[in-house]
């Protein structure tokens, strides 16, 4: 039994490390693409099909800066756009990677540990498996509540950013290539 525990612990740690590194590398690559290819990225498929999401993500980055990168990791819609747009808008690499790494360190355990805990409860529970399974479900519920709170807060921040648009404007009607201040001055909007 101690050997099995060690194997499961190492496997859980390996999954956690892989999730953290994959999250950092994925957003880092997206940031690099935006930084390297800038506006060219927005004219290609599939990004040219979602100009309102691009503009909304750009507003989010302009308003919240480094915080936007952290919060985007937990928001399904803007998660794909924020790292790319952070690169396009020339967010400093140091700021981006601080938020990228910190958000990955929070995000990965939220996705890996629920399954690990449930697996441990079933594998090592023996006679106590029902109680351990109940504890694992309790932990999953707590993680779900935390996740919902993060999503709710992020949605509120996005809604606030969207409500501050000029009256009568609709981000969905904007051009496929939103105008960023960085296009005119070479510096990101602050």
Determine the pLDDT at residue 96: 93
The first and second tokens of residue 124, run together, are 């090592």
pLDDT in tens, 83-97: 888 898 888 999 999
Q: How far is CA 169 from CA 56, 113, 173, 180, in A?
A: 12, 43, 8, 16
The CA distance from 135 to 171, in Å, is 45
Task: Supply the Cα-derived Rg of the chain in whole angstroms.
Answer: 20
pLDDT tens digits for range 4-61: 666 666 777 888 899 999 999 999 999 999 888 887 877 777 778 878 877 877 888 8
Model-wide pTM > 0.85: no
62 has pLDDT over 90: no
Domain ranges (residues) in the chain: 2-184
Least reliable range by pLDDT among 29-33, 105-109, 184-188: 184-188
């Amino acid at each position: 039994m101690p050997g099995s525990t060690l194997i499961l612990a190492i496997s859980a740690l390996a999954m956690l490390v892989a999730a953290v590194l994959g999250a950092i590398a994925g957003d880092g690559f997206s940031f690099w693409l935006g930084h390297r290819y800038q506006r060219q990225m927005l004219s290609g498929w599939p990004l040219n099909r979602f100009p309102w999401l691009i503009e909304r993500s750009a507003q989010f980055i302009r308003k919240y800066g480094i915080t936007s990168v952290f919060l985007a990791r937990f928001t399904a819609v803007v998660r794909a756009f924020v790292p790319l747009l952070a690169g396009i808008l020339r967010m400093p690499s140091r700021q981006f990677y601080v938020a990228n790494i910190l958000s990955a360190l929070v995000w990965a355990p939220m996705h890996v540990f629920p399954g690990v805990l449930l697996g441990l409860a079933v594998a090592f529970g023996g006679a106590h498996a029902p109680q351990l399974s109940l504890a694992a479900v309790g932990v999953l519920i707590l993680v779900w509540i935390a996740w919902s709170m993060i999503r709710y807060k992020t949605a509120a921040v996005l809604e606030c950013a969207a409500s501050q648009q000029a009256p009568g404007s609709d981000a969905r009607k904007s051009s496929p290539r939103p105008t960023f201040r960085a296009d005119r001055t070479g510096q990101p909007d602050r």
